[in-house]
Amino acid sequence: MSSKKKLAIATAGVLVVAAGAAWFGGNKLAQGKVEEELKAFLVQNNLQDNVFWDSLSANVGGTGSMTNVKIIDKQNPAHYFTFRKVILNDLENTENRQKVDVSFEGFADETGQSPIGKVSESKLAELGYTKLPEVNGKLKVNVDSTTDRSSYEISIDQPEVANFGVKFDANKISGLLEQIRNNAEQVQGNAMALLPFLAPISINSLSFDIQDKGLVERVIAKEKGVTWGEKSSPAQDAAYNAKMLQQKEDCLKQGAVVFGESKTEASCDAVYKYVTNQKNRISFAMNPNPPFEILTVVQLLSGQGAGNLNQILQSLNIELKN
């Protein structure tokens, strides 16, 4: 198993298994039982020498936390991730419903800075970033086994950049998740093996939300041709504003295909206000009626059903707003 894959599994394992605190009775029993579960998970995945923590607590109120979690790359011990705190906010595990709400604080790499900075190092440098502070975030999963409907919510708060949020509500996704869980190695080598399990899945809703915390101003500065922190000239301001207005006009002319006649103007205006820093938030929402079948995307990518593209886009009920 590659070191990157080990780190990814260990990170996910810490978040999920730490949430198990609420499955058990009293505080002392809960703490001991959760530590047993986490250690067993690590041994099962040969990660027992990769993950360490200072303390783990759990209580009968259904919450728990781990502090100062460290996940080490054993092939390169100088490389590691840390969580200052992993917190269980809510957990339900019954025959018909599985629900987890986990948040984390102070996610960083060995430099004490955000791992996101390394992922996009060159692009961030172009925008004037030299380093990024620790990341905070949240993960929510809610599965109703009786209807095979599930919802997922991920929030990543990167100070000085943006708060990114994704929400996803789908039907009949359990078969796909089980296939991935039971055949991880095969799936990694052949993603096409998942196609039969995509057929029954349909999307009830999908949304993205971005709340700016400094990124847009830096992008605007780069587009104007000035270094971050420099004041642009009136001519540079006018050129940028004219460019954005032209893009808004193009959106108004072509956007009806995606947004529909009734939502095009508001959606294009939302984008314009975001990229000109008049608004610090933009959200994308898709609420298809009827629920959108994933197999339709596969067919479109393979060239099938392209003639129905406009009708499909209209049924997705897509909207952008601030």
Which amino acid belongs to residue 167? K
Q: What is the pLDDT of residue 232?
A: 95
pTM of the model: 0.79
Provide the β-strand partners of residue 67: 55, 85
User: What pLDDT does 300 receive?
Assistant: 64
Q: Specify the length of the chain in residues.
A: 322
Question: For residues 258 and 308, is the Cβ–Cβ distance under 8 A?
Answer: no
Q: Strand 64-72 vs strand 97-109: parallel, antiparallel, or unpaired?
A: unpaired
Q: What is the pLDDT of residue 16?
A: 54
Q: What share of the chain is helix, strand, coil (3-state, %, to 5)?
A: 45, 30, 30
Q: At what angle do helices 234-254 and 264-275 cross, to 10 degrees?
A: 160
HSE-up (13 A, CA, CB side) for residue 94: 6
In this structure, what is the dihedral angle of CA atoms 205, 89, 14, 195, given to the nearest 10 degrees?
-20
CA–CA distance, 59 with 209 (Å, rounded to integer): 33
Q: Quick count: other Cβ atoms within 10 Å of Cβ 14?
A: 25
From first to last of the 322 residues of the chain, give the pLDDT tens digit. Answer: 555 555 555 565 556 555 544 444 445 445 666 667 667 767 766 778 888 888 877 665 556 788 898 888 877 888 889 999 988 787 777 788 888 888 999 999 998 889 887 766 778 888 989 889 999 999 898 989 889 999 999 999 999 999 999 999 999 988 777 777 676 666 666 767 777 777 788 999 999 999 999 999 999 999 999 998 899 999 999 999 999 999 999 999 999 888 988 999 999 999 999 999 999 999 999 999 889 888 777 666 566 655 667 777 888 889 999 9
pLDDT of residue 138: 94
Residue 201 region by backbone torsions, left for phi larger than 0, else alpha for psi between -120 and 50, else beta: beta
For residues 101 and 15, is the Cβ–Cβ distance under 8 A? Answer: no
Q: Give the per-residue pLDDT at 26.
A: 44
Tell me how far apart the alpha carbons of residues 66 and 30 are, in angstroms, rounded to a whole number: 13
pLDDT on residue 51 = 82
Partners of 206 in the beta sheet?
168, 286
What was the pLDDT predicted at 22?
Answer: 42
What pLDDT, on the 0 to 100 scale, is given for residue 253?
Answer: 93
Place of tokens 């032209």: 246
pLDDT of residue 82: 92
- Phi/psi at 87 (nearest 5 deg)? -125, 130
Q: Which residues of 251-276 are buried (b: 16+ CB within 10 A; e: fewer)?
A: beeebbebbbeebbeebbbbbbbbbe
Q: How far apart are CA 310 and CA 169, in angstroms?
A: 23
